[in-house]
Amino acid sequence: MTDLLTSIQAALGLPHTPIPFASRGALPSAFAVTDLACASIAAAGQAVSEWLQQHTGRLPTLEVDRRLASFWFATSIRPMGWSVPPLWDPVAGDYAAKDGWVRLHTNAPHHRAAAESVLGACADRAAMASKVAQWAKSDLEQAVVDAGGCAAEMRNWAQWQAHPQGLAVNAEPLIQFSADSGENAKPWRGSVAQPLAGIKVLDLTRVLAGPIASRFLAGLGADVLRIDPPTWNEPGVVPEVTLGKRCARLDLHDKTDRAVFESLLKDADILLHGYRADALEKLGYGVAVRQKLAPGLIDVCLNAYGWSGPWHNRRGFDSLVQMSSGIAEAGMQWKKANQPTPLPVQALDHATGYLMAAAAITLLGRGGSARLSLARTARLLIEQGAGTNEALRAEDQSDQGVLVEQTPWGPAHRLKVPLKITGTPLQWALPAGELGSHRAQWW
């Protein structure tokens, strides 16, 4: 546990201060998932603590609860009389190919269309399974990727270590920082209770890792504005990740919307984005353009498979990286199962999200950029070694906060927050809301 925390502290340039972890037990897994949850949340908290010390001269103490951290890595919202839509498209999942396993990620309609352009239309999993069974796993992975879709064959850790992309990821730091030549010394407008008040966060991220980062920043008082394209939706995660944010839509292929986006960017303090490495470049908003439009901008980005190597522009998600990097195969061996066994939660997404938030906070006041990837976070987890078999005490009503969150779908509770920062409660001014429900403007 301390190894994970010290590795993360070193990557962030934070002091190697021990941070206490309350309660016992862990999520059952081949890997130390609960330890990763605690360490990443603790590091984000420590970044806040250090930021407060810079401005107040006092260093708040921290504590992370192992049970609550584990639960938040699954989901924090507890609907009252309604249900969150399913997370997965009906045909997404793992399939047996001729020579092993392959995972198809079809949650976005265009990703499902890409898979079906290779395999033919599939009404259900049975139809998909019969078609996948006729393919070799590597051939299918490549064909779906070439069609603009998302797929990953199951590799073991040794195979990933020998793969050109695995080798590239191994050579990358956990967090790749770059200094900024611009000035970022704005006056602090926050307080101990809301350390990030007055900080504008422009959030271009989707699904999980980036939205976890911006949700954390919003809980500390930042003004988070999430921007999505006109037709994008992710109903299975929106109630979870839009807490504390305003959400607007812009079409960056439209001249008028581009002008709006550029004015938002000029006023932003932090930009979070999770597009493929070349995507903003293709839209005309590469690094040099962003720095020119917004000197001193803190630019924090993530991708799936790392920032170098042949796959650095490849589409990917947590579940696919688990297949590629050996996590799902190790889980299968650990569980003595006959099919891929992923982590019990999407821990690569959640952990990377907290690391993104921590990186953004450490850059406050000095500017610069940080790059992270799910694949590099996967290596951190794998190298930590085995998890523990001591189970967590089951969740009960007392784990929920007392406030009722009035969402567009119905009332809900949130679980109590796993991170305690003395004098600085994580609290969100806005309930979760629909994508596109606000105007694209700063408050």
In CATH, what number is assigned to the domain containing residue 412? Answer: 3.40.50.10540
2 pLDDT exceeds 80?
Answer: no
**Are the CB atoms for 440 and 265 separated by under 8 Å?**
no
Among 153, 149, 156, 165, which residue's Cα sits nearest to residue 105?
149
Among 404, 412, 37, 387, which residue's Cα sits nearest to residue 212?
37
181 pLDDT exceeds 80?
Answer: no
Split into its structural domains, the chain has a count of 1
Compute the Cα dihedral for 203, 208, 213, 215 and give only its sign: positive
Residue 364, Cβ neighbours under 10 Å: how many? 20
Q: What is the mean pLDDT of residues 5-10?
A: 98
Degrees to nearest 5, angle at CA 248 with 203 and 145: 60
Degrees to nearest 5, angle at CA 299 with 379 and 423: 85
What is the model's pLDDT at position 100? 98
Among 297, 322, 301, 299, which residue's Cα sits nearest to residue 313?
301
Q: What is the mean pLDDT of residues 134-141?
A: 98
Q: What value does the mean pLDDT of the chain take?
A: 95
pTM: 0.97
Q: First vs last Cα of the chain: how many Å apart?
A: 41
**Are the CB atoms for 404 and 78 separated by under 8 Å?**
no
Question: Residue 112: how many CA atoms within 13 Å on its side-chain side?
Answer: 16
CA 230 to chain centre: 22
**18-77 confidence digits (pLDDT tens):** 999 999 999 999 999 999 999 999 999 999 999 999 999 999 999 999 999 999 999 999
Alpha-carbon gap, residue 370 to 352, rounded angstroms: 12
Range of the domain at 132: 1-443
